Amino acid sequence: MIMAHKRHGSNHHEMELASGKLHLFANEEVFQSFGVKVYEMANNNLQIPRNQYMSYTPDAHVGIGTCIGTTAVWNMKDGCVSPSIVGSDIGCGMRVHTTPLHKRDIQDKEIRRALIAAIEKYVPTNERTNTNYEDIDVMSVVQNGLKGLPAKYVPDEQWLSHVEQSNFAYDHSYLKNLPPKIMKYARGQLGTLGSGNHFIEIQYLEIQAEYADLAAKWGLFDGQVVVMIHSGSRSWGGMVGREHNKVIKEAMNHWGVSNPDPNLIYAPITSQEGQTYLNLMYSALNFAVSNRHMIAFGVREAFQELFGADMEMPVLYDLMHNYALKEFHRNQPMLVHRKGATRALPPGHFLNTQVYKETGHPALIPGSMGTSSYIMVGKDEGLKNFYSICHGAGRARSRKATKELVTVDQFEQSLKVGTEDEILVNHRSLETILDECPQAYKDVDQIIDSVVGASLAAVVARCKPMAAIKGI
Protein backbone atom coordinates (compact mmCIF):
# COMPACT_ATOMS: atom_id res chain seq x y z
CA MET A 1 0.00 0.00 0.00
CA ILE A 2 2.75 2.49 1.00
CA MET A 3 5.21 2.84 -1.88
CA ALA A 4 7.48 5.43 -0.25
CA HIS A 5 7.74 7.34 3.02
CA LYS A 6 9.46 10.71 3.42
CA ARG A 7 9.85 12.88 6.49
CA HIS A 8 9.60 16.65 6.24
CA GLY A 9 10.86 17.83 9.59
CA SER A 10 9.21 17.08 12.92
CA ASN A 11 5.95 15.10 12.83
CA HIS A 12 5.34 15.63 9.09
CA HIS A 13 5.19 12.44 7.03
CA GLU A 14 4.63 12.17 3.29
CA MET A 15 3.32 8.80 2.16
CA GLU A 16 3.47 7.84 -1.51
CA LEU A 17 0.41 5.66 -2.16
CA ALA A 18 -0.58 3.98 -5.39
CA SER A 19 -3.02 6.79 -6.26
CA GLY A 20 -1.10 9.81 -4.97
CA LYS A 21 0.51 11.53 -2.00
CA LEU A 22 -0.86 11.62 1.53
CA HIS A 23 0.58 14.03 4.12
CA LEU A 24 0.26 12.84 7.71
CA PHE A 25 1.00 14.93 10.81
CA ALA A 26 1.79 12.82 13.87
CA ASN A 27 4.49 12.14 16.41
CA GLU A 28 6.14 8.74 16.36
CA GLU A 29 3.79 7.11 18.88
CA VAL A 30 0.68 8.26 17.03
CA PHE A 31 2.17 7.52 13.61
CA GLN A 32 2.86 3.90 14.55
CA SER A 33 -0.74 3.46 15.69
CA PHE A 34 -2.29 3.94 12.23
CA GLY A 35 -3.65 0.76 10.72
CA VAL A 36 -3.73 -0.26 7.07
CA LYS A 37 -7.40 0.73 6.69
CA VAL A 38 -6.66 4.47 7.01
CA TYR A 39 -4.18 4.21 4.13
CA GLU A 40 -6.67 2.22 2.04
CA MET A 41 -9.24 4.96 2.54
CA ALA A 42 -6.70 7.62 1.60
CA ASN A 43 -5.80 5.73 -1.56
CA ASN A 44 -9.49 5.57 -2.51
CA ASN A 45 -9.90 9.31 -1.88
CA LEU A 46 -6.86 10.10 -4.01
CA GLN A 47 -8.58 8.46 -6.99
CA ILE A 48 -10.98 11.40 -7.15
CA PRO A 49 -9.77 13.34 -10.23
CA ARG A 50 -7.51 16.39 -10.02
CA ASN A 51 -6.91 16.33 -6.28
CA GLN A 52 -4.44 19.07 -5.29
CA TYR A 53 -3.66 18.00 -1.72
CA MET A 54 -4.70 15.50 0.93
CA SER A 55 -3.65 15.03 4.55
CA TYR A 56 -4.49 13.39 7.86
CA THR A 57 -4.27 15.10 11.23
CA PRO A 58 -3.09 12.91 14.15
CA ASP A 59 -6.66 12.17 15.32
CA ALA A 60 -7.48 10.51 11.97
CA HIS A 61 -9.53 7.33 12.17
CA VAL A 62 -11.75 5.27 9.88
CA GLY A 63 -15.07 6.83 8.87
CA ILE A 64 -17.69 6.24 6.19
CA GLY A 65 -16.05 6.71 2.78
CA THR A 66 -13.33 8.93 4.24
CA CYS A 67 -11.37 9.04 7.46
CA ILE A 68 -12.34 11.58 10.08
CA GLY A 69 -9.31 13.86 10.31
CA THR A 70 -9.02 14.51 6.56
CA THR A 71 -8.16 17.70 4.70
CA ALA A 72 -8.62 17.43 0.93
CA VAL A 73 -8.34 20.22 -1.63
CA TRP A 74 -9.44 20.79 -5.24
CA ASN A 75 -9.33 23.82 -7.54
CA MET A 76 -12.70 25.54 -7.87
CA LYS A 77 -12.47 25.73 -11.67
CA ASP A 78 -12.09 22.02 -12.43
CA GLY A 79 -12.20 20.16 -9.10
CA CYS A 80 -14.67 17.99 -7.25
CA VAL A 81 -16.83 18.22 -4.16
CA SER A 82 -17.33 15.13 -2.03
CA PRO A 83 -20.10 14.80 0.58
CA SER A 84 -18.09 11.88 1.94
CA ILE A 85 -15.20 14.26 2.73
CA VAL A 86 -17.58 16.71 4.40
CA GLY A 87 -19.16 14.18 6.71
CA SER A 88 -22.72 13.33 7.70
CA ASP A 89 -23.02 16.02 10.39
CA ILE A 90 -22.49 19.04 8.17
CA GLY A 91 -21.20 22.06 10.10
CA CYS A 92 -20.48 20.14 13.27
CA GLY A 93 -18.12 22.23 15.35
CA MET A 94 -17.08 23.85 18.61
CA ARG A 95 -18.02 26.93 20.59
CA VAL A 96 -16.56 28.37 23.80
CA HIS A 97 -18.05 31.01 26.11
CA THR A 98 -16.13 32.67 28.91
CA THR A 99 -17.42 33.64 32.36
CA PRO A 100 -16.13 35.94 35.14
CA LEU A 101 -16.13 32.94 37.49
CA HIS A 102 -13.07 31.22 38.95
CA LYS A 103 -12.78 27.48 39.51
CA ARG A 104 -13.20 27.96 43.27
CA ASP A 105 -16.61 29.54 42.68
CA ILE A 106 -18.06 26.23 41.46
CA GLN A 107 -15.77 23.77 43.23
CA ASP A 108 -18.64 22.72 45.50
CA LYS A 109 -20.34 19.70 43.92
CA GLU A 110 -23.82 20.93 44.82
CA ILE A 111 -23.26 24.12 42.81
CA ARG A 112 -22.14 22.09 39.82
CA ARG A 113 -25.11 19.72 40.15
CA ALA A 114 -27.41 22.74 40.23
CA LEU A 115 -25.72 24.05 37.07
CA ILE A 116 -26.23 20.74 35.29
CA ALA A 117 -29.92 20.70 36.28
CA ALA A 118 -30.39 24.31 35.16
CA ILE A 119 -28.69 23.70 31.79
CA GLU A 120 -30.89 20.65 31.15
CA LYS A 121 -33.91 22.86 31.89
CA TYR A 122 -33.00 25.20 29.01
CA VAL A 123 -31.18 22.85 26.60
CA PRO A 124 -32.96 19.59 25.63
CA THR A 125 -30.57 16.65 25.89
CA ASN A 126 -33.08 13.97 24.90
CA GLU A 127 -33.23 13.27 21.17
CA ARG A 128 -37.04 13.15 21.34
CA THR A 129 -37.41 16.56 23.03
CA ASN A 130 -37.63 19.81 21.07
CA THR A 131 -37.07 23.38 22.15
CA ASN A 132 -39.92 25.86 22.50
CA TYR A 133 -38.49 28.67 20.36
CA GLU A 134 -41.68 28.91 18.32
CA ASP A 135 -40.87 32.47 17.24
CA ILE A 136 -37.76 31.33 15.34
CA ASP A 137 -38.35 30.87 11.62
CA VAL A 138 -36.24 27.90 10.56
CA MET A 139 -36.27 29.02 6.93
CA SER A 140 -34.95 32.44 7.92
CA VAL A 141 -32.12 30.75 9.82
CA VAL A 142 -31.07 28.38 7.04
CA GLN A 143 -31.11 31.28 4.60
CA ASN A 144 -29.40 33.91 6.76
CA GLY A 145 -27.58 32.12 9.58
CA LEU A 146 -27.28 34.06 12.82
CA LYS A 147 -28.72 37.11 11.08
CA GLY A 148 -31.98 35.17 10.70
CA LEU A 149 -32.53 34.91 14.47
CA PRO A 150 -34.93 37.27 16.27
CA ALA A 151 -33.05 40.11 17.98
CA LYS A 152 -34.04 38.96 21.46
CA TYR A 153 -31.85 35.86 21.04
CA VAL A 154 -28.73 37.91 20.30
CA PRO A 155 -27.51 39.33 23.65
CA ASP A 156 -25.09 41.72 21.93
CA GLU A 157 -23.13 42.24 18.73
CA GLN A 158 -20.23 40.23 20.14
CA TRP A 159 -22.33 37.07 19.69
CA LEU A 160 -22.28 37.76 15.94
CA SER A 161 -18.70 38.94 15.48
CA HIS A 162 -16.77 36.25 17.41
CA VAL A 163 -17.65 33.40 15.06
CA GLU A 164 -15.87 31.83 12.12
CA GLN A 165 -18.76 32.93 9.92
CA SER A 166 -22.21 34.18 10.96
CA ASN A 167 -23.90 33.75 7.59
CA PHE A 168 -23.02 31.49 4.66
CA ALA A 169 -24.38 33.10 1.50
CA TYR A 170 -25.74 30.87 -1.28
CA ASP A 171 -28.46 30.65 -3.90
CA HIS A 172 -31.66 30.08 -1.90
CA SER A 173 -33.46 28.72 -4.95
CA TYR A 174 -31.68 25.41 -4.36
CA LEU A 175 -33.80 24.87 -1.25
CA LYS A 176 -36.58 23.67 -3.55
CA ASN A 177 -34.53 20.49 -3.99
CA LEU A 178 -35.19 19.47 -0.39
CA PRO A 179 -38.21 17.35 0.60
CA PRO A 180 -40.98 19.23 2.46
CA LYS A 181 -40.64 16.90 5.46
CA ILE A 182 -37.29 18.50 6.33
CA MET A 183 -39.17 21.39 7.99
CA LYS A 184 -41.14 18.98 10.14
CA TYR A 185 -37.98 17.37 11.50
CA ALA A 186 -35.93 20.57 11.84
CA ARG A 187 -38.60 22.67 13.56
CA GLY A 188 -37.87 22.73 17.28
CA GLN A 189 -34.32 21.40 16.93
CA LEU A 190 -32.49 24.74 17.11
CA GLY A 191 -30.82 24.77 20.51
CA THR A 192 -30.80 20.99 20.99
CA LEU A 193 -27.61 19.10 21.78
CA GLY A 194 -27.95 15.81 19.97
CA SER A 195 -26.40 12.52 21.06
CA GLY A 196 -23.17 10.63 20.40
CA ASN A 197 -20.03 12.67 21.02
CA HIS A 198 -21.86 16.01 21.34
CA PHE A 199 -21.64 17.73 24.71
CA ILE A 200 -21.74 20.83 26.88
CA GLU A 201 -18.78 20.90 29.26
CA ILE A 202 -18.00 23.25 32.14
CA GLN A 203 -14.24 23.65 32.39
CA TYR A 204 -11.55 25.78 33.99
CA LEU A 205 -8.44 27.12 32.28
CA GLU A 206 -4.75 26.59 32.82
CA ILE A 207 -3.03 29.34 30.83
CA GLN A 208 0.28 28.47 29.19
CA ALA A 209 2.85 30.94 30.56
CA GLU A 210 4.46 31.71 27.19
CA TYR A 211 1.07 32.74 25.80
CA ALA A 212 -0.21 34.68 28.83
CA ASP A 213 -0.25 37.98 26.91
CA LEU A 214 -2.29 36.49 24.08
CA ALA A 215 -4.66 34.84 26.57
CA ALA A 216 -5.20 38.21 28.25
CA LYS A 217 -6.03 39.82 24.88
CA TRP A 218 -8.65 37.12 24.41
CA GLY A 219 -10.09 37.81 27.90
CA LEU A 220 -8.78 34.58 29.43
CA PHE A 221 -7.22 34.12 32.88
CA ASP A 222 -5.85 31.24 34.94
CA GLY A 223 -8.57 29.29 36.76
CA GLN A 224 -11.34 30.90 34.68
CA VAL A 225 -14.56 28.93 34.22
CA VAL A 226 -15.56 28.50 30.57
CA VAL A 227 -18.23 26.52 28.75
CA MET A 228 -17.36 24.40 25.70
CA ILE A 229 -20.11 23.26 23.32
CA HIS A 230 -19.90 20.58 20.63
CA SER A 231 -22.85 20.10 18.26
CA GLY A 232 -23.84 20.29 14.61
CA SER A 233 -26.68 20.76 12.13
CA ARG A 234 -29.01 18.11 13.57
CA SER A 235 -31.72 16.77 11.25
CA TRP A 236 -31.33 19.57 8.68
CA GLY A 237 -27.76 18.60 7.84
CA GLY A 238 -28.54 14.92 8.16
CA MET A 239 -31.32 15.13 5.61
CA VAL A 240 -29.26 17.28 3.21
CA GLY A 241 -26.57 14.61 3.34
CA ARG A 242 -28.85 11.62 2.92
CA GLU A 243 -30.91 13.09 0.08
CA HIS A 244 -28.00 14.32 -1.99
CA ASN A 245 -25.72 11.38 -1.34
CA LYS A 246 -28.32 9.39 -3.24
CA VAL A 247 -28.51 12.00 -6.01
CA ILE A 248 -24.75 12.09 -6.53
CA LYS A 249 -24.42 8.31 -6.33
CA GLU A 250 -27.03 7.96 -9.09
CA ALA A 251 -25.17 10.56 -11.16
CA MET A 252 -21.89 8.69 -10.72
CA ASN A 253 -23.57 5.51 -11.99
CA HIS A 254 -24.93 7.46 -14.96
CA TRP A 255 -21.47 8.91 -15.69
CA GLY A 256 -19.86 5.46 -15.39
CA VAL A 257 -17.67 6.61 -12.48
CA SER A 258 -16.73 4.10 -9.80
CA ASN A 259 -14.44 3.74 -6.79
CA PRO A 260 -13.37 0.72 -4.73
CA ASP A 261 -15.42 2.11 -1.81
CA PRO A 262 -19.13 2.48 -2.68
CA ASN A 263 -19.51 4.91 0.25
CA LEU A 264 -17.14 7.41 -1.38
CA ILE A 265 -19.15 9.77 -3.56
CA TYR A 266 -18.22 12.95 -5.41
CA ALA A 267 -19.18 15.19 -8.30
CA PRO A 268 -17.51 17.94 -10.33
CA ILE A 269 -17.96 21.29 -8.58
CA THR A 270 -19.39 22.81 -11.77
CA SER A 271 -21.94 20.04 -12.34
CA GLN A 272 -25.59 20.51 -11.44
CA GLU A 273 -25.25 17.83 -8.75
CA GLY A 274 -22.13 19.47 -7.32
CA GLN A 275 -23.69 22.93 -7.25
CA THR A 276 -26.88 21.63 -5.65
CA TYR A 277 -24.94 19.88 -2.89
CA LEU A 278 -22.67 22.88 -2.21
CA ASN A 279 -25.56 25.32 -1.93
CA LEU A 280 -27.58 23.05 0.33
CA MET A 281 -24.48 22.32 2.41
CA TYR A 282 -24.23 26.07 3.10
CA SER A 283 -27.83 26.01 4.36
CA ALA A 284 -26.77 23.30 6.82
CA LEU A 285 -23.77 25.36 7.92
CA ASN A 286 -26.18 28.20 8.72
CA PHE A 287 -28.31 25.80 10.76
CA ALA A 288 -25.28 24.44 12.61
CA VAL A 289 -23.82 27.79 13.72
CA SER A 290 -27.32 28.91 14.76
CA ASN A 291 -27.89 25.68 16.68
CA ARG A 292 -24.71 26.16 18.74
CA HIS A 293 -25.69 29.81 19.27
CA MET A 294 -29.08 28.78 20.69
CA ILE A 295 -27.52 26.07 22.88
CA ALA A 296 -25.24 28.77 24.26
CA PHE A 297 -28.23 31.06 24.77
CA GLY A 298 -29.84 28.35 26.91
CA VAL A 299 -26.62 27.82 28.87
CA ARG A 300 -26.47 31.57 29.54
CA GLU A 301 -30.06 31.45 30.85
CA ALA A 302 -29.02 28.66 33.24
CA PHE A 303 -25.98 30.56 34.54
CA GLN A 304 -28.08 33.69 35.05
CA GLU A 305 -30.64 31.68 36.97
CA LEU A 306 -27.95 30.60 39.43
CA PHE A 307 -25.61 33.59 39.49
CA GLY A 308 -27.89 36.54 38.71
CA ALA A 309 -29.32 38.33 35.69
CA ASP A 310 -26.19 40.45 35.24
CA MET A 311 -24.04 37.36 34.57
CA GLU A 312 -22.64 37.74 31.07
CA MET A 313 -20.98 35.01 28.99
CA PRO A 314 -19.07 36.48 26.04
CA VAL A 315 -18.36 34.28 23.04
CA LEU A 316 -14.70 33.37 22.72
CA TYR A 317 -15.18 31.74 19.31
CA ASP A 318 -17.36 29.39 17.26
CA LEU A 319 -15.90 27.26 14.46
CA MET A 320 -16.67 24.21 12.33
CA HIS A 321 -14.80 21.01 11.59
CA ASN A 322 -17.06 19.33 8.96
CA TYR A 323 -17.46 21.32 5.73
CA ALA A 324 -16.12 22.28 2.31
CA LEU A 325 -15.32 25.96 1.93
CA LYS A 326 -14.04 28.14 -0.89
CA GLU A 327 -10.71 29.63 0.23
CA PHE A 328 -7.89 31.41 -1.58
CA HIS A 329 -4.57 29.55 -1.50
CA ARG A 330 -1.65 29.72 -3.93
CA ASN A 331 -3.29 32.80 -5.48
CA GLN A 332 -6.32 30.86 -6.68
CA PRO A 333 -9.74 29.83 -5.35
CA MET A 334 -9.80 26.32 -3.92
CA LEU A 335 -12.43 24.13 -2.30
CA VAL A 336 -10.99 22.96 1.01
CA HIS A 337 -12.75 19.96 2.54
CA ARG A 338 -12.26 19.44 6.26
CA LYS A 339 -13.81 16.32 7.76
CA GLY A 340 -12.96 16.24 11.45
CA ALA A 341 -10.32 18.93 10.92
CA THR A 342 -10.16 22.45 12.40
CA ARG A 343 -9.00 25.57 10.60
CA ALA A 344 -6.29 27.35 12.64
CA LEU A 345 -5.30 30.63 11.03
CA PRO A 346 -2.18 32.47 12.27
CA PRO A 347 -1.97 36.12 13.36
CA GLY A 348 -2.41 38.55 10.49
CA HIS A 349 -3.93 36.07 8.03
CA PHE A 350 -6.49 37.73 5.76
CA LEU A 351 -9.07 34.98 6.29
CA ASN A 352 -9.29 35.73 10.02
CA THR A 353 -12.52 37.31 11.18
CA GLN A 354 -11.99 41.01 11.87
CA VAL A 355 -11.87 40.78 15.67
CA TYR A 356 -9.03 38.24 15.50
CA LYS A 357 -7.16 39.68 12.53
CA GLU A 358 -4.19 40.76 14.67
CA THR A 359 -3.86 37.79 17.02
CA GLY A 360 -5.17 34.86 15.04
CA HIS A 361 -8.38 33.18 16.23
CA PRO A 362 -8.81 30.64 19.04
CA ALA A 363 -8.74 27.08 17.67
CA LEU A 364 -10.98 24.93 19.89
CA ILE A 365 -9.95 21.31 20.36
CA PRO A 366 -12.01 19.05 22.64
CA GLY A 367 -10.61 16.06 24.47
CA SER A 368 -12.78 13.21 25.70
CA MET A 369 -14.84 12.91 28.88
CA GLY A 370 -12.42 13.10 31.79
CA THR A 371 -9.49 14.52 29.80
CA SER A 372 -8.30 18.01 28.93
CA SER A 373 -9.47 20.08 26.00
CA TYR A 374 -7.34 22.80 24.41
CA ILE A 375 -7.50 26.36 23.11
CA MET A 376 -4.83 26.83 20.48
CA VAL A 377 -3.67 29.42 17.95
CA GLY A 378 -2.46 28.74 14.42
CA LYS A 379 1.10 29.35 13.27
CA ASP A 380 2.43 30.59 9.94
CA GLU A 381 3.91 27.14 9.27
CA GLY A 382 0.35 25.80 9.13
CA LEU A 383 0.30 26.89 5.50
CA LYS A 384 1.85 23.52 4.62
CA ASN A 385 -1.40 21.85 5.71
CA PHE A 386 -3.81 24.53 4.46
CA TYR A 387 -4.02 25.69 8.09
CA SER A 388 -5.75 22.49 9.25
CA ILE A 389 -5.19 20.91 12.65
CA CYS A 390 -6.92 18.15 14.63
CA HIS A 391 -10.55 18.40 15.73
CA GLY A 392 -10.26 16.36 18.93
CA ALA A 393 -8.77 13.19 20.33
CA GLY A 394 -10.17 10.89 17.64
CA ARG A 395 -11.72 7.50 18.37
CA ALA A 396 -9.35 4.66 19.12
CA ARG A 397 -12.03 1.96 19.06
CA SER A 398 -15.65 1.56 18.01
CA ARG A 399 -18.58 2.04 20.34
CA LYS A 400 -19.25 -1.70 20.37
CA ALA A 401 -15.62 -2.56 21.13
CA THR A 402 -15.51 0.07 23.90
CA LYS A 403 -18.52 -1.49 25.64
CA GLU A 404 -16.88 -4.90 25.41
CA LEU A 405 -13.44 -3.82 26.66
CA VAL A 406 -14.06 -1.07 29.22
CA THR A 407 -15.86 -1.47 32.53
CA VAL A 408 -18.02 1.08 34.34
CA ASP A 409 -15.50 0.98 37.20
CA GLN A 410 -12.72 2.06 34.84
CA PHE A 411 -14.96 4.85 33.55
CA GLU A 412 -15.65 5.99 37.13
CA GLN A 413 -11.92 6.14 37.84
CA SER A 414 -11.42 8.36 34.80
CA LEU A 415 -14.06 10.75 36.12
CA LYS A 416 -12.56 10.69 39.66
CA VAL A 417 -15.91 9.59 41.08
CA GLY A 418 -16.14 10.05 44.83
CA THR A 419 -13.36 12.64 45.06
CA GLU A 420 -13.58 16.41 45.50
CA ASP A 421 -12.40 16.81 41.90
CA GLU A 422 -15.05 14.47 40.47
CA ILE A 423 -16.14 15.37 36.94
CA LEU A 424 -19.90 15.40 37.31
CA VAL A 425 -22.16 14.18 34.51
CA ASN A 426 -25.89 14.47 33.85
CA HIS A 427 -26.49 10.72 33.67
CA ARG A 428 -27.38 8.65 36.71
CA SER A 429 -25.87 5.55 35.13
CA LEU A 430 -22.50 5.81 33.42
CA GLU A 431 -23.33 2.58 31.60
CA THR A 432 -25.62 4.56 29.28
CA ILE A 433 -22.69 6.64 28.00
CA LEU A 434 -19.90 4.08 28.37
CA ASP A 435 -19.11 4.29 24.64
CA GLU A 436 -18.05 7.94 25.23
CA CYS A 437 -15.54 7.16 27.98
CA PRO A 438 -11.92 8.38 27.61
CA GLN A 439 -10.79 4.83 26.85
CA ALA A 440 -12.77 4.99 23.58
CA TYR A 441 -10.48 7.75 22.32
CA LYS A 442 -6.84 8.33 21.52
CA ASP A 443 -4.64 10.11 24.06
CA VAL A 444 -5.48 13.76 23.38
CA ASP A 445 -2.16 14.91 24.83
CA GLN A 446 -0.34 12.89 22.17
CA ILE A 447 -2.59 14.40 19.52
CA ILE A 448 -1.80 17.93 20.70
CA ASP A 449 1.91 17.09 20.95
CA SER A 450 1.79 15.98 17.31
CA VAL A 451 0.22 19.27 16.19
CA VAL A 452 2.59 21.43 18.25
CA GLY A 453 5.60 19.41 17.16
CA ALA A 454 4.65 19.88 13.50
CA SER A 455 4.48 23.68 14.11
CA LEU A 456 0.87 23.83 12.92
CA ALA A 457 -0.42 25.52 16.08
CA ALA A 458 0.48 26.33 19.70
CA VAL A 459 -1.38 25.78 22.97
CA VAL A 460 -2.70 28.95 24.63
CA ALA A 461 -4.72 27.25 27.39
CA ARG A 462 -5.56 23.80 28.67
CA CYS A 463 -9.24 23.32 29.60
CA LYS A 464 -9.82 20.98 32.57
CA PRO A 465 -13.30 19.44 32.88
CA MET A 466 -15.51 19.97 35.95
CA ALA A 467 -18.93 18.88 34.65
CA ALA A 468 -20.25 17.37 31.42
CA ILE A 469 -23.72 17.30 29.89
CA LYS A 470 -24.27 14.59 27.29
CA GLY A 471 -27.29 13.95 25.09
CA ILE A 472 -29.11 10.65 24.80
> Using CA atoms, how far apart are residues 32 and 428, in angstroms rounded to an integer?
38
CA–CA distance, 219 with 214 (Å, rounded to integer): 9
As a whole number of angstroms, the distance between CA 176 and CA 173 comes to 6
**pLDDT value of residue 356:** 98
Q: Exposed (0-12), middle (13-18) or buried (19+): which is 21, by Cβ within 10 Å?
A: middle
Chunked into runs of 10 residues, the chain (472 residues) has average pLDDT values of: 91 97 97 96 97 98 96 97 96 98 97 96 85 91 97 96 97 93 88 90 98 98 98 93 92 94 96 97 97 97 97 97 95 96 98 97 94 97 98 88 88 89 86 87 95 98 96 78
Q: What pLDDT, in 10s, does the model give residues 458-467? A: 999 999 999 9
Per-residue pLDDT, 248: 96
Whole-prediction pTM: 0.96
pLDDT at 240: 93
Helix (H) / strand (E) containing 317: strand 315-320
* All structural domains of the chain with their residue ranges: 2-396+441-470
Measured distance CA(267)–CA(214) in Å, rounded: 42
Determine whether 321 is an active site residue. Answer: no
CATH fold of 2-396+441-470: tRNA-splicing ligase RtcB (3.90.1860)
pLDDT at 186: 87
pLDDT of 301 reads: 97
CA angle 111, 117, 122 (to 5 degrees): 125
Say what the pLDDT of residue 369 is: 85
pLDDT for the residue numbered 412: 85
Q: Which is catalytic among the residues 97, 337, 361, 391?
A: 391
Return the pLDDT at 130. 82
